[in-house]
Amino acid sequence: MSDPWTWHGGGIEAAKREFGEGDWIDLSTGINPHPWPGAAGMAFDWRRLPEPEHLARLEAVAADYFGVDPRHVCAVPGSEIGLRLVGALIGGDTAHIAPGYRTHGAMIAGSAETRWDVAPGATGNLILANPNNPDGRALAPDALLGWLERGVGWLLVDEAFADADPALSVAASVADDRKLIVFRSFGKFFGLAGVRLGFVLAPQAIVAALRARLGAWPLSEAAIAIGTAAYADAGWIEATRQRLPAEAIALDAALARHGYRAAGACPLFRLIETDDGRALFERLARRAILTRPFADEPRWLRIGLPADAEALARLDAALGHG
């Protein structure tokens, strides 16, 4: 299987080259198929550099949304970059939870793979996602913070998929006297991954070090304006938090009709296990439906949320043609 699909989600152009043109449905990324609508009507003066005051306003609005003091918030051009920058800053003895997001293992040189049921070391750093990607496992905040109390080094929590259920977040626990760093993604819940916007929530010393590495103008004016407006749109946020779980239930039902048990606590994607995940991936791809296979877990396939009833019906029909 080609690497574009087993490394990360996405890769529609590669899929077209491999499986042919068509009206493709991308279910490989776990990105909200119902993007925040306000961006479509916004205009930007591309001749001007972003204003520092506008960036500060974005961080303040986002901080209110996350439930954390703005002094602990640093906006970054995508949470992927935030993960890698923080990894370079802290270094040291580290473990990352597996299965998990591929970048977690690359953040800090020498990071060792560990499992959910293995207690972390007494002093080493621990990297994990909550909800986890790709299996959707979710832990209560108390369980995560318990690791800090037991003396791990830095606890690095990737909350890229936490927006749908804010009760899972440990963001409010970020403080200067706590070795906790939280990563948040804008593009997944708000459905605008191309904006390339994310946040690192950390003690002020880490935030200052990040700002020094990012330099002037870390974000475009478009990303700043879109993010500021979207995080302030409480009505859309609440409606989306109600909509996504209902649509995930419909996806679960479609999968169950074909004998697949959907796993995961994140409504933006489901993980299924089958005898041959690669064969199912290719069967769906031949019908212009892109999903997310895994080289190291060949029985797994992650399936994102279809955008509408028509897309769900196409998936349903494709699953039924063995």
Q: How confident is the model at residue 93 (pLDDT cuts 50, 70, 90)?
A: very high
Average the pLDDT over 157-180 and give the result: 97
Q: How confident is the model at residue 256 (pLDDT cuts 50, 70, 90)?
A: very high
204 has a pLDDT exceeding 60: yes
Q: How confident is the model at residue 147 (pLDDT cuts 50, 70, 90)?
A: confident
- Please return the burial class of 281, using the count of CB atoms within 10 Å of its CB with bins 0-12, 13-18 and 19+: buried
Burial 133-153 (b: 16+ CB within 10 A, else e): bbbbbbbebeebbebbeeebb
121 has a pLDDT exceeding 80: no
9 has a pLDDT exceeding 90: no
Residue 128: CB atoms within 10 A of its CB come to 23
Would you state the pLDDT for residue 169? 98
In the chain, the percentage of residues whose pLDDT exceeds 70 is 97
Query: For the chain, which domains are there?
Result: 3-30+235-319 (3.90.1150.10), 46-232 (3.40.640.10)
The count of C-alpha atoms lying within 13 angstroms of the C-alpha of 216, restricted to the half-sphere facing its C-beta, is 3
pTM, 2 dp: 0.95
90 has a pLDDT exceeding 70: yes
Residue 29: CB atoms within 10 A of its CB come to 22
Q: How confident is the model at residue 284 (pLDDT cuts 50, 70, 90)?
A: very high
Instruction: Give tens-digit pLDDT for 43-79.
Output: 999 999 999 999 999 999 999 999 999 999 999 999 9
Would you state the pLDDT for residue 282? 95
**150 versus 253: which is more confidently predicted?**
253
CB 182 within 8 A of CB 174: yes
Average the pLDDT over 228-234 and give the result: 98
Would you state the pLDDT for residue 120? 59
Would you state the pLDDT for residue 295? 86
ω into residue 131 within 30 of 0, thus cis? yes
Q: How confident is the model at residue 123 (pLDDT cuts 50, 70, 90)?
A: low
Q: How confident is the model at residue 119 (pLDDT cuts 50, 70, 90)?
A: low
Q: How confident is the model at residue 118 (pLDDT cuts 50, 70, 90)?
A: low
Would you state the pLDDT for residue 133? 92
